[in-house]
Structures are given as C-alpha cells and as structure tokens.
Amino acid sequence: MFERVALVHYHEIGLKGRNRGTFERKLKDNIAFSLGDLAPQGVERVASRLVVPLASKSAEQALELISRIPGVASVADAYVTSRDPAEMERAATQAVLRAAPDASTFAVKARRSSTDYSESGHEMNVRIGAAVRAATGMAVDLGHPDVTCSIEVVQGAVYVYARRIESPGGLPVGTSGRVVALLSAGIDSPVAAWRMIRRGAVAIALHFSGRPQTDARSEEYARDICRVLERTGGLARLYVAPFGELQREISLAAPPDLRVLLYRRLMLRVAEKIAAVEGAKALVTGESLGQVASQTLDNIAAVDAVAPVPVLRPLICNDKLEIMAEARAIGTYELSTQPHTDCCTLFMPRNPATHATIEQVEAGEAGLDIDRMVDAALAGLSWTTFACASYRPPAQWREG
Ligand code: ATP
Ligand code: MG
C-alpha cells in the first residue's frame, strides 16, 4: 500500500510575488485548522503544493473539507511513491482502479518539476500508460479518456492520482481583512458573503430580526446559514439585532413609500458601528441591480449616502438564476428557501419608491431620533461565534 495524501494545488496565490510566502502560510494554517484531528501529521509545503497525509478512515471527510477552503484550486486524492519506476506504475494502476473501476479508457499525464529527474513527461506517459493498460485491460484514449491519471515528480517524491476535486480557488481567508456582511435569511446575501470569503475576507454576519413583531425563525435560519458558511473557514461571527420596534417607529413617522429605504439606511448605520468595533473595512449586501424596487441605482445611492465605509455588492451584476445556482453549490439554498418572515416585509407599503432622492429620504427621516435608534439596535445585540482561524473577538464583545 502507498501512503495516501491530499495534494492541494493553488494558482492565484502562486502569483503574488513577494507576498507569496505569507499567502502560502495562511493557506497551510487554514487547512490545518479546518482539519484539526483529521490531519495529525500536519500540512507540508512541497514546491508550490501543499501535502496533507491522510488516514484511510477519515480520508473522504478530509478531502471534502479541503475542497471548500478558499485559496484551494483543486485537491487530489493522491498516492506518494518513490522514483522507482515499478512503484510508480503500481500506484498509477491502483489510483485508476480506485477512482474509476468501471472506466474503459484512460490517459496518463506526467510532469516533472524536478530538474534532476531524467525521464521526460512523454517517456513517463508511454511507460506508465503501457503498465496500466496491461494491468487493467483499459484502452488508452488521449482525447476523451474516462479517467486521467496524473503523475507529478516533485523533489524527492512522486504523487500519483486519478481523482481531483475542483475547489473554490480565490485567496486564503485572513489575507483580505474583515467585512460586515448584512445577512438576511434569503437566497442572495449568503452568496454575497461567500464571495467575499472566497476573496480572502473574514465575514462578520449581521442579521436584523423582525422581533418582537415576528417570531425568531429568521434568526435560526440565519444561524443555520452561518453554520454552512463556517465550513469555509471564513465566517467568524453572527450578530443579531432586534429591529421590529424600530421598523414600527419608522412606519409611523415616515412616508410609506420610503419605508424600505429608511430601514436600509438604519441597517447600514448599525452595521457601520459594528464594523468600527470589529475593525471591518467594508459592508456587504446581496443586492443585484434592478432585482426589486429598493435596488435601483437611485435607491442604492440614497441608501449608501449614510455609509462612511464602502458598501460592497458582489452580486450587483448577477441574474437571480445565477445567484440561485451558486447558493445551491455552496449549500445555503435549501436553508434560504424555508418559509419565514423577513423583517423587510414588515409594514411593507403597496408602492415602494423606486427612484428616491437623498433629499427625500433625509426629509423622511426628519422626525426620527436616528442616534437613539442606532443605540437601541446595538443595545439589543446578541451574537454567536464560529470557528475561524483568523478571528479574535473585539474586547468589548468578547463572550459568547
Ligand atoms: P436576500 O435574498 O439576501 O434577502 P433580497 O433579494 O431579498 O436579498 P432585499 O430583501 O431587498 O433583497 O435585501 C437586500 C439586501 O439587504 C440583502 O441582500 C441583505 O444584504 C440586506 N438585508 C435585507 N434584509 C436583511 C435582514 N433582515 N438582515 C440583514 N440584512 C438584510
Ligand atoms: Mg430578502
């Protein structure tokens, strides 16, 4: 039997010039943190790859976990062999049979990253291909093989694999700072948060609950969504702010058609305060241009006017169907489509303004004591902390 490892490839972080070492170390630490006891021998860096020795009983679980980690382009279920030609051939045969026992065609793709290995890639392909054909009875097909066996000669070792899991790519979490992600229990905002995590940001989620005007279901769903995002290693905390009373106040004092925009402005003000405490440099929402009345360019401008930090909208140019497909891929779709009352639908007017101006929303807020409302939301905050290697809670909100 050969030693089995997860062979992790990354590309983008390999391009980072002088920062490369930092990015590689971060990725290595994130993988080790995510695997915990599943990687008792740790994670090793080997010539632009990371190698994680696997125990056979937990190998599948470890591969699955690694395949969700930002910065990982792909992870292969690989055998390690020496440079002994017969060993390479046996490992290739085993890898092919394990990955695709029913395949009828295969190809071998060998590469050498080490200059002190004399056999060329082509020579390895021919030699190992002949051995696999003889051992399995499969035919070689270089155009459309059922299974491809890769051989990588790297420093002292050879990695052999026929199964590779495509992974998110992007950057290791912790290399891009923190953001506060406004997280409803809907479909879009979890995808927006995920996209920021994939770019290396630590996401602090913030959910506004319609309580006491609604039940706590949206909070539970938001928490469940966070548990799914937690597996990427990039979701650090969920803050829940009670919002029902504040919405009632807005609905009593302001023109009905501006309600949703005033809710959003208040949400951003609260989010910005949390961002300041958390050291987060931007806010994130799941808005997409024109998707609903509040998401026109005019209304986005009217809402953003209160935010002293950038408000990022990773989904701004995506169609709903694309967002839904991505929600399915990251595993939040089912949770996001459970019935619940979002606080934004509370006191919903029949005809929301689609092209509000900043002057209009400011006039609409004139009768409200905004500072007190922000303080009330902050005073009611509760939170849940998740497993994230790059997160330390702020001193003033440490427990929990
Ligand atoms: P989503 O699918 O994310 O709920 P949506 O298409 O329903 O988005 P809106 O309800 O207009 O659109 O919300 C726009 C954005 O405002 C959301 O993507 C989210 O970032 C933020 N948001 C809305 N409701 C809440 C809430 N209850 N808590 C936190 N953020 C919210
Ligand atoms: Mg929504």
**Inter-axis angle of helices 297-304 and 358-365, to 10 degrees?**
50
Confidence at residue 350, expressed as pLDDT on a 0 to 100 scale: 80
Partners of residue 160 on adjacent β-strands: 79, 151
pLDDT for 15 equals 64
Neighbours of 67 (CB within 10 A): 17
Identify the pLDDT of residue 91: 98
Q: Which of 180, 188, 289 to mutate to test the pocket of ligand 1 (most atoms within 8 A of CB)?
A: 188
Name the packing angle between helices 370-379 and 259-278 (round to 10°). Answer: 60
pLDDT band at 339 (very low <50, low <70, confident <90, very high): confident
**Ligand 1 atom nearest to 286, measured from its CA:** 18
Ligand closest to Cα of 299 equals: 1
- 364 shares a domain with 255: yes
pTM listed for this prediction: 0.94
Domain co-membership, 255 together with 390: yes
Quote the number of domains for the chain: 2
Q: Is 384 in the pocket of ligand 1 (CB under 6 A)?
A: no
The arithmetic mean of pLDDT across residues 38-63, rounded, is 95
**What domain range includes position 32?**
3-166
CATH of the domain at 80: 3.30.2130.30
Q: Which ligand is nearest to the CA of 222?
A: 1
- In the chain, what percentage of residues exceed pLDDT 90? 87
Position 381 scores a pLDDT of: 97
pLDDT of residue 347: 76
pLDDT, average across residues 193-219: 95
191 and 118 belong to one structural domain: no
Q: Which atom of ligand 1 is nearest to the CA of 181?
A: 20
Query: Could you tell me if 295 and 289 are in contact, meaning their C-beta atoms sit under 8 angstroms apart?
Result: yes
**Average of pLDDT values for 376-388?**
97
Question: What stretch of H or E contains 76?
Answer: strand 74-81
Same domain membership, residue 199 and residue 94 = no
Helix (H, G, I), strand (E, B) or coil at 48: coil
Would you state the pLDDT for residue 159?
98
Longest Cα separation, the chain: 84
343 C-beta closer than 6 A to ligand 1: yes
Establish whether residue 207 lines the binding site of ligand 1, counting it when its CB lies within 6 angstroms of any ligand atom.
yes
CA 165/CA 66 separation, integer angstroms: 9
Report percent pLDDT > 70 for the chain.
98
64-116 pLDDT, tens per residue? 999 999 999 999 999 999 999 999 999 999 999 999 999 999 999 999 987 78
